A and B are shown apart, each in its own frame.
Chain A
Amino acid sequence: MREMDIAFVEGAISSDIQEEKLKKIREKAKVLVVVGACAVVGAPSNQRNFFAQENIAEILPILQKFKYKEKILKVSDVVSVDEKIPGCPMNEEAFLQVMKKYLYAHH
């Protein structure tokens, strides 16, 4: 993985592999921007965190077979985050503001 000025991360963290990759991205990126509801607050990707016991029991064989994490994490549960662009879909204006902030910071 190359060094990055800005890394954009979408989605929530479901597995250890994803968690490791996210940590690597954090190491390589000067600025880390999380984009969209799943990355910023975890939802709706984290809906199984709130399942009743009977639903968990039902999906447990899949969770075990493919080595899912016990709980789905939002990005800031794993690494430090510099900017958050919430919304599903993300708010375009907020995205442009972040882009402008860092683009102009380099000139």
Chain B
Amino acid sequence: MHTIDFGRDFNLTLKEISKIEGAASLDIAVRNNKVVDLKFGISEWKRFYTQAIRGKNAMAIPQLVARICGTCSNAHLLASTKAIENAFSVTVTAQTMLLRKLLYYGLIIRDHGLHLYVFSLPDLFGKDSILDFDEHDELEHELLHDTFAVKEVGNQLSIAVGGRSVHAPYPTVGGFLKYPSLDDLKKVRVKLEEIRPRVINLIRIFASAPFSFSFSRSLIYNALLSSDFSFLYGNVYTSDGKVFTEEELGAHLKAVIIPYSQARGFTFDGNFMMVGALSRLNMAKEHLHERTKKDGSLGTAFFPSKNLFHNNLAQAVEMLHAVDSACDIIDGLTHVEPEPIARIKPRAGVGIGVIEAPRGTLYYMLTLTEDGTVKKGEIIVPTGQNQVLMERAIFEYTQKKLDMGAQKQELVDHIEELIRAFDPCMSCAAHFLKVRWMKA
């Protein structure tokens, strides 16, 4: 039984929150059992990519910015590529678009898989780590096996298409430097079908997860959506019914100063905002692959959802969609034609490229000179966009758990569970602090 101890005063500091991408910290002050102060900061050290890309040739940018993140590197690669192609009015072939989607589905399978199996699943089993799973327990043994099997197939798909699963060397501005063999793709196709039941099982597990928390205030979800739920193309939709082109998005995002964080936060037209799998599923579940809708219905039935923990369920559903969509694309290929890369004619201008990274909308704006040199860059990453909401949600969730009588260690566990529900990536978030942010 919980004991409600009114009049509790304590300070809580979490210096290193585990099982997330990168470093974050949290300071909480509780007085009289009420949260009076809470600071969620991103403590990752910056590498100043926004400054570093200045003066470099646009063609070199995708491979450099891929290094921002070892997890979603191909998201940075493809978003920056899109910005450059838009700046130079480069049109790519239908085959290039298909191969980019395939490359990306590999990323979604592996990246969501890493987060759900390795970071979130231990919370559901009351374990510290996936390595603590008991191999003599049938379910836990199976899940250990699934962890590696599913991630591996995501890797193999990205390797077959991009030459490597992170920092893929083949995709480039205007096309591909090297083309995958149809034979390799067909081999991955077989493996995709093999992991399908495992992914469906993952959906089942997260659909029955006991965690639940809804934010009390109004909140705008937004995402770049297309009719085939491709993550790479389409318009930006918001949960209050607005539609924007990718060029228009930047005007709605307002940077927020968080003095104790190495990353800036964002609001959407002044509102709390959330990007990521939950936003996508809340607005576009009807665009999922037909097989996903059928076999993943146990998961999709929950959307739209206000339960922030359903972000993880949404990720599991997206993994199945990635598997099914990748299978379709491979089935439709009769041959892979080595095509010449589109001709690039540099010109002065601004290029904007927006895609859905695994964790949400990723925005690149590059100002280029007439010889194709980067004059200025602006990169807005998903975790930055979610940061303001995250801090406020942690505040509310902490208070809720205090009201329920949670003791200090319990409180820490609960808070970390909520943070992991967001799947934040600090490595991405910490590197785009504008100097204006500091001076304000």
Chain A interfacial positions (CB closer than 8 Å to B): 14-15, 18, 44-45, 47-48, 51, 55, 58-59, 61-62, 65-66, 68, 88-89
Query: Smallest CB-CB separation from A65: which chain B residue?
Result: B438
User: Would you call B51 and A58 a contact (CB within 8 A)?
Assistant: yes
CA A88 to CA B69, docked complex, whole Å? 11
- Asked if B54 CB lies within 8 Å of chain A CBs, one says yes
Query: Smallest CB-CB separation from B53: which chain A residue?
Result: A47
User: Would you call A61 and B47 a contact (CB within 8 A)?
Assistant: no
CA A75 to CA B246, docked complex, whole Å? 41
CA A60 to CA B303, docked complex, whole Å? 46
User: Would you call B167 and A18 a contact (CB within 8 A)?
Assistant: no
A47 surroundings in chain B (CB, below 8 A): 47-49, 52
B47 surroundings in chain A (CB, below 8 A): 44-45, 47-48
- Asked if B64 CB lies within 8 Å of chain A CBs, one says yes
User: Would you call A61 and B438 a contact (CB within 8 A)?
Assistant: yes
Interface residues of B in 34-89 (CB under 8 A from A): 45-49, 51-52, 54, 64, 67, 70
CA A68 to CA B438, docked complex, whole Å? 15
**Interchain CB contact (< 8 A) of A88 among B48, B167, B433:** B167
Interface residues of B in 311-336 (CB under 8 A from A): none
Chain A residues touching B, majority SS: helix
**What are 9 residue pairs bridging A and B, where the CB atoms are less than 8 Å apart in the complex?**
A15-B45, A45-B47, A47-B48, A47-B52, A55-B51, A62-B433, A88-B167, A89-B166, A89-B167
> How near does chain B come to A52, taking the closest CB pair, in angstroms?
8
User: Would you call B45 and A68 a contact (CB within 8 A)?
Assistant: yes
Beyond A89-B166, A89-B167, whether A62 also contacts B45 by CB under 8 A is: no
CA A88 to CA B63, docked complex, whole Å? 11
How many of chain B's residues have a CB under 8 angstroms from any CB in A? 19
CA A51 to CA B48, docked complex, whole Å? 10
User: Would you call B64 and A58 a contact (CB within 8 A)?
Assistant: no
User: Would you call A44 and B51 a contact (CB within 8 A)?
Assistant: no
User: What string of 1s and 0s marks CB contacts (under 8 Å) between B407-440 and chain A?
Assistant: 0000000000000000000000000010100110
B387 surroundings in chain A (CB, below 8 A): none
Beyond A45-B47, A89-B70, whether A62 also contacts B435 by CB under 8 A is: yes
> How near does chain B come to A83, taking the closest CB pair, in angstroms?
20
- Asked if B222 CB lies within 8 Å of chain A CBs, one says no
- Asked if B172 CB lies within 8 Å of chain A CBs, one says no
B435 surroundings in chain A (CB, below 8 A): 58-59, 61-62
CA A48 to CA B51, docked complex, whole Å? 8
User: Would you call B52 and A59 a contact (CB within 8 A)?
Assistant: no
User: Would you call A59 and B45 a contact (CB within 8 A)?
Assistant: no
Most buried by A among B166, B433, B438: B438
- Asked if B279 CB lies within 8 Å of chain A CBs, one says no
Query: Smallest CB-CB separation from B45: which chain A residue?
Result: A14
CA A88 to CA B168, docked complex, whole Å? 11
* Given A44-B64, A48-B48; 14 other pairs, CB 8 A cutoff: A14-B45, A44-B52, A47-B47, A51-B48, A51-B51, A51-B52, A61-B439, A62-B46, A62-B433, A62-B435, A62-B438, A88-B167, A89-B164, A89-B166
Query: Smallest CB-CB separation from A72: which chain B residue?
Result: B47
> How near does chain A come to B267, taking the closest CB pair, in angstroms?
22
B167 surroundings in chain A (CB, below 8 A): 88-89
CA A51 to CA B439, docked complex, whole Å? 21
Query: Smallest CB-CB separation from A55: which chain B residue?
Result: B51
CA A41 to CA B342, docked complex, whole Å? 35
Query: Smallest CB-CB separation from B166: which chain A residue?
Result: A89
- Asked if B262 CB lies within 8 Å of chain A CBs, one says yes
User: Would you call B262 and A66 a contact (CB within 8 A)?
Assistant: yes
Query: Smallest CB-CB separation from A43: which chain B residue?
Result: B67
A45 surroundings in chain B (CB, below 8 A): 47
User: Would you call B70 and A18 a contact (CB within 8 A)?
Assistant: no
B438 surroundings in chain A (CB, below 8 A): 61-62, 65
CA A105 to CA B141, docked complex, whole Å? 30
Interface residues of B in 223-274 (CB under 8 A from A): 262
